[in-house]
Amino acid sequence: MAVEVVNKKVLLRRYIEPGEAPTEGHMELVTTETIILKVPEASSSAVLVKNLYLSCDPYGRAIMSRPQRGSNHLSTPGLPVPGYGVAKVVDSTHPEFKAGDYVWGLTCWEEYSLITPKETLFKINYTDVPLSYYTGLLGLAGLTAYVGFHEISSPKEGEHVFVSAASGAVGQLVGQFAKLLGCYVVGSAGSDEKVNFLKDKFGFDEAFNYKKESDLDAALKRYFPEGIDIYFDNVGGAMLDAALGNMKLRGRVTVCGLISQYNLETVQGMRNFTLVIPKCIRLQGFNVLQYQHMYREFEEKVVKYVKEGTIKYLEDVAEGLEAAPASFVGLFEGQNIGKKLVVVARE
Amino acid sequence: MAVEVVNKKVLLRRYIEPGEAPTEGHMELVTTETIILKVPEASSSAVLVKNLYLSCDPYGRAIMSRPQRGSNHLSTPGLPVPGYGVAKVVDSTHPEFKAGDYVWGLTCWEEYSLITPKETLFKINYTDVPLSYYTGLLGLAGLTAYVGFHEISSPKEGEHVFVSAASGAVGQLVGQFAKLLGCYVVGSAGSDEKVNFLKDKFGFDEAFNYKKESDLDAALKRYFPEGIDIYFDNVGGAMLDAALGNMKLRGRVTVCGLISQYNLETVQGMRNFTLVIPKCIRLQGFNVLQYQHMYREFEEKVVKYVKEGTIKYLEDVAEGLEAAPASFVGLFEGQNIGKKLVVVARE
């Protein structure tokens, strides 16, 4: 007989509109719903999971926005917020998953989710590394850093690489991948504490606190007197503009995130955008969901690095589903140090 | 005995400052200087040329600007304006050029120029096509269109291509190269007369007058209901923004020119810039001077097209060196229909 339990949820209360900053009021914690811990008879290819760790990411802002052409629309007011996470399979009618499996992929901000997985759920092959790593390092953020650096940025040994939001989930890994390739790597972050992590823990050659720099152009010239080969952009705005002014000939800008711009209606103007022509600069955006076929190759490689200690990783953990809204909102204020995640349950 | 003649010149009077529109007052016609029609004894590798046709191009604005990092600085107030043109060699101590040769490349806005050619002067191999074509179709504009389309835009047969400033020197050729590859091609221009040329003379599938469109996004959706694969951008600004909103997944924006932005201090903000991420859009700037090694391959191919009549070409000709300042200023008002050039002398 199937058990019925309370299923705490974080619902989207209303869309985050263009120009609006995300607030906790966009979401709502509901503790009155229940769920039967069994895939319904009629669902021939579904899994029922217990959510363990949920990822908080800037792209959640797009997920919680009113649908528009070109964006990946996933959310609906009144329903739980969709997001990536790590979960344990409770019941399954899907041939690739069985009860007891650990999985990561697209789930929802709630204690239990009924998922109809397409290409958005991966079985976790390694349980001898912390499972929470699959919300970031070994999940979408890790794959983003891997694809964005190796596939999109066309890196070469010895090149000079600049990473913004460098202590974040993606940035810390991009910097380490670049160091592994023999690049010179500089990161920017928003506090001295983060800057210290970049240099002491992640092995960046240099790092600076952008909030203490009155002139970003001057800061970049200090660290890159001969210019930047690759700018891995997680923030956009004034930093992107300053970087454009400091790119070398044939420099590449990998546009991974634009967190400084997501709450604006119009992306800020860029004084240096015209330099893309004389400097033959390439700006390349990418969506990691187009590269999911590379996941297993990536997982093999990075699990090995983690076990060897070659790659370091920093998490910023919040306890309890009820902490999810504030954790998400805090991303846009730079509150997290390292990969932000929420523990719903540990087993 | 060497002849001394009057050498009419257009000098740069003062730099065009950021935020300023070019005016005729930035230049000055001087008719009092003379020149000896012989390379001075001491110059072992120079050519003295009689200028025949001078090219007017938007990048002249950068040439006449105060030097800044990343730009190709060439001009100095009080000296003749540098620019590309077609000339006849009068005297030469350079091993690759002799008196009587026709050449094209970097010269100056004056009747006679003493040039020390590096990689900026090309011998004209074909004199059975109009020599003036070497200011555009068979010169830098042609190479720009060829490189920008074939090398930078990664085009494939059947793709949907949008070209702005499509009746200009570069745009008309990009559209024709795209048609030759079997693409669907739409161009925008600033008058009905230009639009008619695009459809009737250059074989564009569709064309529209952007000045008559109150909503550029709606215009692009009309011509590209399924989106744009390649946007060849000659203008920047609002058109670039509208195109970004209509790119297909993995669309490419080739940033060739930003004429709408050159007179502004800061490039306008773009509402749709964030779409580069979900749509995996690539923006690639390029400087044709980095591709001069492709010139002979290009020349062979395009001279053949011209002789067969496969490629059409439209020039907008002004008579006399004294017409050069107004011709240049007119570019920024969209006055030219086709490639703008100035005839200094016909032989």
Cβ <8 Å between B255 and A275: no
Same domain? For A130 and A147 the reply is: no
B269/B96: higher pLDDT:
B96
Mean pLDDT (chain A) is 93
User: Which residue in the set B72, B262, B267 is minimally distant from A269, CB to CB?
Assistant: B267
Same domain? For A164 and A263 the reply is: yes
Q: B72 to chain A, minimum CA–CA distance in Å?
A: 7
Mean pLDDT within B198-220: 97
CB-based contacts of B317: which residues, under 8 Å, 6+ apart? B132, B341, B342, B343
Number of domains observed in the structure of chain A? 2
B300 located within any domain: no
Q: Between the CA of residue B21 and those of A27, A175, A215, B266, what are the distances in Å?
A: 50, 43, 28, 14
pLDDT at A83: 94
Q: How does pLDDT run across B287-297, given as a tens digit for each residue?
A: 998 999 999 99
Mean pLDDT within A151-175: 96
Q: How does pLDDT run across A55-77, given as a tens digit for each residue?
A: 999 889 888 988 765 555 678 99
Same domain? For A123 and A165 the reply is: no
Q: Which chain A residues are Cβ-neighbours of B270 within 8 angstroms? A: 266-267
**Helix, coil or strand: residue B180:** helix
- State the DSSP H helix or E strand holding residue B106, giving kind and residue range, or none if neither: strand B102-108
Distance CA B8, CA B114 (A): 14
Tokens standing for A53?
Answer: 């760790």
B296 located within any domain: no
Q: Which chain B residues are Cβ-neighbours of A245 within 8 angstroms? A: 69-70
Q: Which chain A residues are Cβ-neighbours of B287 within 8 angstroms? A: 277-280
B293 located within any domain: no
Indicate which CATH number applies to the domain containing A180: 3.40.50.720
Mean pLDDT within A240-252: 97
Mutation target for B interface from A232, A260, A274, A284: give the one with most B CBs within 10 A.
Answer: A274
pLDDT at B1: 64
Q: B188 to chain A, minimum CA–CA distance in Å?
A: 21
Cβ <8 Å between B269 and A267: yes
Tell me the pairing of strands B184-189 and B206-209: parallel
pLDDT at A120: 83
Same domain? For A124 and A88 the reply is: yes
Cβ <8 Å between B278 and A72: yes
B305 located within any domain: no
B335/B243: higher pLDDT:
B243
A306 located within any domain: no
% of chain A with per-residue pLDDT over 70:
97
Same domain? For A80 and A196 the reply is: no
pLDDT at B41: 86
In degrees and rounded to multiples of 5, residue B131 shows phi and psi of -60, -30
Rounded to whole angstroms, the maximal C-alpha distance in chain B is 70
pLDDT at A259: 73
At B69, the pLDDT band (50, 70, 90 cuts) reads low
Tokens standing for B224?
Answer: 């590209």
Q: Which chain A residues are Cβ-neighbours of B266 within 8 angstroms? A: 269-271
Range of the domain at B20: 4-137+313-343
Mean pLDDT within B311-332: 95
Q: Which chain A residues are Cβ-neighbours of B255 within 8 angstroms? A: 276-277
% of chain B with per-residue pLDDT over 90:
82
Cβ <8 Å between B277 and A286: yes
Mutation target for A interface from B16, B247, B267: give the one with most A CBs within 10 A.
Answer: B267
Q: Which chain B residues are Cβ-neighbours of A273 within 8 angstroms? A: 236, 258, 261, 267
CB-based contacts of A63: which residues, under 8 Å, 6+ apart? A72, A73, A74, A75, A81, A82, A83
Mean pLDDT within A330-344: 92
Q: A152 to chain B, minimum CA–CA distance in Å?
A: 10
Cβ <8 Å between A270 and B265: no
- State the DSSP H helix or E strand holding residue B62, giving kind and residue range, or none if neither: helix B60-63
For the ranges B210-219, B265-274, B315-324, the lowest mean pLDDT is seen at: B265-274
User: Which residue in the set B62, B255, B276 is minimally distant from A255, CB to CB?
Assistant: B276
Tell me the pairing of strands A102-108 and A121-123: antiparallel
Q: How does pLDDT run across A185-219, given as a tens digit for each residue?
A: 999 999 999 999 999 999 999 999 999 999 999 99
Same domain? For A217 and A247 the reply is: yes
Residue pair A4/A40 in contact by the 8 Å Cβ criterion: no
Same domain? For B147 and B284 the reply is: yes
Name the residue in chain A with its Cα closest to that of B277: A285
% of chain B with per-residue pLDDT over 70:
97
pLDDT at A2: 79
At B79, the pLDDT band (50, 70, 90 cuts) reads very high
Name the residue in chain A with its Cα closest to that of B153: A282
Q: Which chain B residues are Cβ-neighbours of A267 within 8 angstroms? A: 269-271, 273-274
User: Which residue in the set B70, B257, B273 is minimally distant from A275, CB to CB?
Assistant: B70
Q: How does pLDDT run across B6-61, given as a tens digit for each residue?
A: 999 999 999 999 889 999 999 999 999 999 999 998 888 999 999 999 999 988 98
Mean pLDDT (chain B) is 93
A127/A262: higher pLDDT:
A127
Cβ <8 Å between A258 and B273: yes
For the ranges A66-70, A108-112, A140-144, A161-165, the lowest mean pLDDT is seen at: A66-70
Name the residue in chain B with its Cα closest to that of A255: B277
pLDDT at B119: 72
Mean pLDDT within B129-149: 96
Distance CA B143, CA A250 (A): 19
B303 located within any domain: no
ipTM of the complex: 0.86
Same domain? For B102 and B224 the reply is: no
pLDDT at A270: 84
User: Which residue in the set A258, A269, A278 is minimally distant from B269, CB to CB?
Assistant: A269
The answer to whether residue B269 scores a pLDDT higher than 80 is no
Tokens standing for A257?
Answer: 């995130």
A309 located within any domain: no
Domain edge (last residue) among A288, A304, A323: A288
Same domain? For A99 and A12 the reply is: yes
Same domain? For B261 and B224 the reply is: yes
User: Which residue in the set B268, B275, B283 is minimally distant from A269, CB to CB?
Assistant: B268
Cβ <8 Å between A283 and B284: yes
Distance CA B171, CA B190 (A): 13
pLDDT at A59: 84
Residues of A within an 8 Å Cβ radius of B:
62, 69-72, 236, 245, 249, 255-258, 261-262, 265-287, 290
Same domain? For B154 and B269 the reply is: yes
Indicate which CATH number applies to the domain containing B128: 3.90.180.10
At A269, the pLDDT band (50, 70, 90 cuts) reads confident
What is the model's pTM? 0.89
CA angle A162–A165–A168, rounded 5-degree value: 120
| Residue type present at position B19 | G
Cβ <8 Å between A285 and B285: no
The answer to whether residue B233 scores a pLDDT higher than 90 is yes
Distance CA A22, CA A15 (A): 9
Count of A-B CB contacts under 8 Å:
112
pLDDT at A322: 97
Same domain? For B90 and B210 the reply is: no
pLDDT at B299: 96
Q: A282 to chain B, minimum CA–CA distance in Å?
A: 4
Mean pLDDT within B222-245: 96
Cβ <8 Å between B281 and A276: no
At B73, the pLDDT band (50, 70, 90 cuts) reads low
Mutation target for A interface from B61, B151, B252, B280: give the one with most A CBs within 10 A.
Answer: B280
The answer to whether residue B264 scores a pLDDT higher than 80 is no
In degrees and rounded to multiples of 5, residue A195 shows phi and psi of -60, -40
pLDDT at B193: 95
User: Which residue in the set B255, B268, B278 is minimally distant from A276, CB to CB?
Assistant: B255
Distance CA A287, CA A70 (A): 11
A109 located within any domain: yes
